[in-house]
Amino acid sequence: MFDYRLHIADFFNYCQYHKNLSSKTIQAYKVDLRQYEAFSKNLTRNTLWDYIIFLNRKYKPKTAKRKIATLKAFCHYMLIHDLIEYNPFDKIETSIKEPLVLPQTIPLNIVNQLMSYLYLQIDLAKTDYQLKSAVRNVAVTELLFATGARIAEICNLRKNDVDLHGNTIKFFGKGAKERIIPIENLEVIGILRKYYMLHEQDISNSGIFFINKLKRRLTEQSVRNMLQRCCEECNISIHITPHMFRHSFATFLLEEDVDIRYIQRMLGHSSITTTQIYTHVTSSKQKEILKNKHPRNKLKI
């Protein structure tokens, strides 16, 4: 009997060295395939059918779709390498409808309140460590809002990715896709230069642009914790995450009539369909405006 498990290790090598997938994607594949191994020793149309039912019962649609996509990628690998004669996914309906979840944005007045608090911490710093930390926190937050970059993209910035003379940032997004975002706001450029000046030696030694107190790469979780702490300290009631700056970046630009194709490129989306989720947000904004601001509401008939 064919044992698909004998080919899993080769599949991961194929993903890493042929498809050049990220380590995070490969790790997710490993988790998903281990789960399927625990579910069944066979990889047939019938077992896949039962597994899809199991996934839909246990997980939310987005998670179930990802786990199915992993198995599809593995089956495709075996098919193109002539390890199987047919794809067991043939004639299996795998489309799963996800509920439309609108991206959460940060009101502009809240962004202003948070930024003002972060800048204040620079003025209040009493030690060199406090100053360096405060400047770094402002620089990271400014970059989140100025570029709409993912927090992982910002934390993974290398020294050479940040051009403080040409005022550009080079990001490497999903699938190692490269995009360059110009920084046109003078205050953002100013805080980035100040951060670099304070940390220049450590940045040069590590090659990483944003570093922590141990002079290692700043982690995504550290930024999340920093934002949460600052929101609590300045009495912001809404829960703010780094990704909400990305949503806000796209939504505010769309509300300023920026062409969605430009926003797509700045966000690093492969498909404009992904970017179009923000049109739903602006549609809800239009509804709110017409409901509360339309002059018809002032008529007394």
> What is the per-residue pLDDT across 244-266, written as a single tens digit (0 to 9) for each?
999 999 999 988 888 889 999 99
pLDDT tens digit sequence for 216-243: 999 999 999 999 999 999 999 999 999 9
pLDDT tens digit sequence for 184-212: 999 999 999 999 999 999 999 999 999 99
Active-site residue, 239 included: no
Q: Which residue is listed with tokens 């970046």?
A: 249
Same-domain pairing of 281 and 135: yes
Whether 101 is covered by a domain: the verdict is no
| Predicted local confidence at residue 118, as pLDDT | 97
Same-domain pairing of 68 and 120: no
Same-domain pairing of 45 and 125: no
Q: Which among 139, 144, 137, 103 has a CA at the least distance from the CA of 233? A: 137
Same-domain pairing of 125 and 190: yes
Reported confidence tier of residue 298, pLDDT bands at 50, 70, 90: confident
Contact indicator for 181, 147 with CB cutoff of 8 Å: yes
Max CA pair span of the chain:
81
Q: Which among 91, 81, 6 has a CA at the least distance from the CA of 52? A: 91
Whether 100 is covered by a domain: the verdict is no
Same-domain pairing of 206 and 261: yes
| Catalytic pick among 150, 199, 217, 247 | 150
Whether 41 is covered by a domain: the verdict is yes
Active-site residue, 174 included: yes
| Predicted local confidence at residue 257, as pLDDT | 84
Domain that holds residue 22: 4-80
User: What is the pLDDT averaged over residues 90-99?
Assistant: 76
Same-domain pairing of 265 and 129: yes
| Predicted local confidence at residue 62, as pLDDT | 87
Same-domain pairing of 54 and 193: no
Q: What is the DSSP letter of 196?
A: H
Whether 98 is covered by a domain: the verdict is no
Whether 300 is covered by a domain: the verdict is no
Rounded to a whole number of angstroms, the CA Rg of the chain reads 24
CATH number at residue 33: 1.10.150
Q: Which among 241, 245, 251 has a CA at the least distance from the CA of 280? A: 251
Structure tokens belonging to residue 49: 């059918």
Average pLDDT of the chain, as a whole number:
91
Instruction: Give the DSSP letter string of 205-221.
Output: HH-BSSB-TTSSBPPHH
Same-domain pairing of 51 and 178: no
- Residue ending a domain, among 59, 80, 101, is 80
**Which has the higher per-residue pLDDT, 121 or 281?**
121
| Catalytic pick among 30, 72, 170, 174 | 174
Active-site residue, 243 included: yes
Please tell me the total count of domains within the chain: 2
Percentage of the chain lying above the pLDDT 70 cut: 95
Q: For residues 33 and 39, what is the distance between their CA atoms, to the nearest angstrom?
A: 10
**Which has the higher per-residue pLDDT, 132 or 176?**
132
Q: Which residue is listed with tokens 């405060």?
A: 134
| Catalytic pick among 29, 51, 77, 278 | 278
Supply the pTM of this predicted model. Answer: 0.72
- Residue ending a domain, among 43, 63, 80, is 80
Whether 294 is covered by a domain: the verdict is no
User: What is the pLDDT averaged over residues 179-188?
Assistant: 94
CATH number at residue 230: 1.10.443.10
Active-site residue, 58 included: no
Structure tokens belonging to residue 156: 């993974």
Same-domain pairing of 58 and 119: no
| Predicted local confidence at residue 206, as pLDDT | 95
Same-domain pairing of 120 and 69: no
| Catalytic pick among 7, 136, 217, 246 | 246
Active-site residue, 278 included: yes
| Predicted local confidence at residue 114, as pLDDT | 97
| Predicted local confidence at residue 11, as pLDDT | 95
Whether 33 is covered by a domain: the verdict is yes
Q: Which residue is listed with tokens 């890493």?
A: 16
What is the distance of C-alpha 28 from the center of its chain?
Answer: 15
pLDDT tens digit sequence for 40-50: 999 999 999 99
Q: What is the DSSP letter of 217?
A: B
Whether 126 is covered by a domain: the verdict is yes
Predicted confidence (pLDDT) at residue 181 exceeds the cutoff of 90: yes
Strands (E) located in the chain: 162-163, 168-172, 178-182
- Residue ending a domain, among 28, 60, 80, is 80
Q: For residues 301 and 298, what is the distance between their CA atoms, to the nearest angstrom?
A: 10
Same-domain pairing of 53 and 132: no
| Predicted local confidence at residue 284, as pLDDT | 67
| Predicted local confidence at residue 165, as pLDDT | 94
Structure tokens belonging to residue 44: 């047939």
* Amino acid letter for position 67: K
Same-domain pairing of 74 and 124: no
